[in-house]
Structure 1
Amino acid sequence: MSALTFRLKGEPDQRIDCSSLVPDHLAKRSTADIEKLPVGTTRRGLRAGDLFEISGDDASDIRFEGGSARLDRIGESMSGGSIRVSGDAGFRAGRLMRGGQLMVEGSVGDLCGSGLQGGRIRVKGDCGARLGGPDAGEMKGMGNGVIRVSGNAGERAGDRMRRGVILIDGDCAKDAASRMIAGTMIVGGRTHGAPGRLMKRGSLFLMGGAERFTATFIDAGVHDLLILTLMARELEATIGDIPFDGAPMRKISGDTAVLGLGEIYLPA
C-alpha cells in the first residue's frame, strides 16, 4: 500500500474545506468516491477531484503535495493515522483532533489545534492567532495532546488551555496563555504583551523573557526546584529538544486577579 496523496493542481480561487479528507472519513473509500467529496465553500460545488490529483490507497497515511493558505480545516476531528502537508495550510488545522499526527511543513492560519483533545501537531513554519484556543463562543481551549511550532505564533496562543503541551520555538505575540486553566506552555523566543493574563493554574515557561506582566502577578524569586528537572526530562522524552534543562529559574506567581495558582518561569 502507498500513502493516499492529494497533489494540488493549482492555487485555489476560493477557500477549501478539507475536513472530510482525514483518515477516519476516507477509510475503505475508492479513489472515485474520494474524488466526488465536496470541498468547495461557494456555490460552484467544487469537489476533491477538481482540485487534487489523487493517488495511493493507504488512508491511514495521507499526504498533501503542495500547500496553500486556502486549504482550511486539514486534519479536523481526526482520531488516528497521519497527515503531512508539504507546504502551507489555512485556518483550523488540526482543530478538535482526538488522536493521530498532523505535520505541516509550512505555516498555518488561525485556530491551529483549537480544542485539541489528543494527538500531535507539528508546524515547521509560523502559526496564526489562538493556537490551541477556543473558537468564537466556546468556553474550552485545548484539552490534551501536544503542539509544537518551530516558528512564531500569533496572539492569544494557549487561550483557555486545560491540559497538554504547547511549545513555540520562536516568538509569541501578545497575551499568550490568557485565561489558562492548566497545562504547560513553553516559548523559546520573546513573548509580547502581557502573558498569562487571568490564568488560574498551569505552567508557562518564557525563555526569551516577556514584554511585561500585569500588576496582579507576584515575583517569587529564583528557585532551584527538583520538579523543573523532572519536567524537563519528561518533556524532552515526549516532544524532543526543549529550551530549558531544569536549571534554577525565576518564578512569577499569578494571576492573583483570579485563582492565582499559575506559575510563570523565566531564566534566572
Structure 2
Amino acid sequence: MSALTLTLKAEPRQRVDMRPLSAARELTPAEIAALKLWLGKRRRRVDELFTLEGDDTARLVLRGDCRKLDYIGRDARDLDITVEGNAGAYAGMGMRSGRLHVKGDADLFAACELRGGLVQIDGNAGNFLGAALPGDKRGMRGGIVLVKGDAGDRCGDQLRRGIILVEGNAGDYCGSRLIAGTIAVMGQVGKNPGYGLRRGTLLLWREPAVIPATYGDCGTHTLGFLPLWFAGLRHLDSRFADPANAFNRVHRYGGDLASVGRGEILVRAA
C-alpha cells in the first residue's frame, strides 16, 4: 500500500480548514475524496481541491503550496502526515498521537495544545509554537516538537508538559508562563526568556543578552540527569541526537520569582 497523496490543483485564494482530514485513518480514499472542507465561507469537496493518489489512509502526504491550509492534523490520532512544503496556521493543534512532518515552514500556533506524538518542522515556526490558544490556560500537554530552523515569539507559552526542541533561534518571551515541561534552544533567545515561568526548564546553549532580574543566580553545576535526557532524544533526526552536542555542566538561574518561582533557566557552561 502507498501513502494517500493529496496534491493541490491550484493555490487556494482563501484559507482552507483541513480538520476533517484528521479522521482519514477511519475512512476509505473514496470517502476522503467526498469530504467537504471550508474554503473561506464556502465548502468544497476534497477532490475539487486536490488530486488523490494512493490507498493507505493512515499515511497522508500533502503536496503543493500549502501555506493557506490551516489545522493540518488537528486532534489526529495515529496518523503519519507529511507536508512537502510550508504549512498554514495551527498545524498539529491538539494532536494526540502519530507524526506530523512539515518539510518547510509552519505558520503561527503550530503544535498548540499538542497532547502527544511528534511534530517536526524542518524550516521555521511562527509565533506561539506549542502554546495555549488565547483565553486558554494550558498549552502543549505532551509529545515532542522539533524545529530545525527558528521559532517566533512566545515559544511554549503556558507549556504544561512535553518537550520543545529548537535548533535555531527563538524570539522574545521564550518559555513565557511555562507551567512544566522543557524547552531547549541551541541558538539565541530574544528578550525576557522565561517570563512568568512557574515550573519547568528552559535549556539554552547560549547566554541570553539579559537574564531577567526576577531570577536568582544559583551558580554552576554538574547535573547527572542531563546525559540521560539527551540519550532519550537519540531516535530523532536532529542535532539534539548528536552526542557531540550533549553536556552536563550548566549555569543555573532559579525563578521566575515574580511567579511561583520553582522553575529554572539552564545555560550551557563554557
Mapping for residues 97-246 of structure 1, pairs under 5 Å:
97-237=95-235, 240-242=238-240, 244-246=245-247
Residue 28 (structure 1) aligns with: 27
Aligned letter for 2:248?
Answer: A
Residue 17 (structure 2) aligns with: 17
Contact 1:97 1:117 in 2 (8 A): yes
Q: Note the alpha carbon deviations across 1:100-127, whole angstroms, 9 max, x for none.
A: 0000000010111111110000000001
Q: Note the alpha carbon deviations across 1:20-43, whole angstroms, 9 max, x for none.
A: 112x34523342x32222223323
Residue 35 (structure 2) aligns with: 37
> Residues of 2 paired with 1:168 and 1:73: CA distance?
21
Q: Note the alpha carbon deviations across 1:157-207, whole angstroms, 9 max, x for none.
A: 111111111000100010010010111110010000111011111111111
Contact 2:167 2:239 in 1 (8 A): no
> Residues of 1 paired with 2:102 and 2:29: CA distance?
25
Decide whether aligned partners of structure 1 residues 150 and 238 sit closer, same or farther in structure 2, where only a CA change above 3 A counts: closer
> Residues of 1 paired with 2:164 and 2:29: CA distance?
36
CA drift at 1:226: 1.1
CA drift at 1:222: 0.9
* SS of alignment partner, residue 20 of structure 1: helix
Q: Note the alpha carbon deviations across 1:189-241, whole angstroms, 9 max, x for none.
A: 00001110111111111113323222110111111121222222223356754
Residue 257 (structure 1) aligns with: 258
Number of paired residues? 266
Contact 1:230 1:246 in 2 (8 A): no
CA drift at 1:81: 2.2
> Residues of 1 paired with 2:85 and 2:121: CA distance?
10
> Residues of 1 paired with 2:5 and 2:232: CA distance?
35
> Residues of 1 paired with 2:167 and 2:17: CA distance?
29
Residue 8 (structure 1) aligns with: 8
Runs of at least 5 residues in structure 2 that lack an aligned partner in the other structure: none
The structure richer in strand per residue is 2
Percentage of identical aligned residues: 36
Mapping for residues 34-113 of structure 1, pairs under 5 Å:
34-113=32-111
Aligned Cα RMSD in Å? 1.6
CA drift at 1:57: 1.2
Aligned letter for 2:86?
Answer: D
> Residues of 1 paired with 2:259 and 2:42: CA distance?
49
> Residues of 1 paired with 2:25 and 2:236: CA distance?
29
* TM-score, scaled to structure 2: 0.94
* SS of alignment partner, residue 21 of structure 2: coil
Contact 2:29 2:57 in 1 (8 A): no
> Residues of 2 paired with 1:80 and 1:168: CA distance?
24
Deviating above 3 A after TM superposition, structure 1's stretches of 4 or more consecutive aligned residues are 235-241
Contact 2:148 2:238 in 1 (8 A): no
Runs of at least 5 residues in structure 1 that lack an aligned partner in the other structure: none
Greater Cα shift, 40-49 or 161-170: 40-49
> Residues of 2 paired with 1:58 and 1:258: CA distance?
48
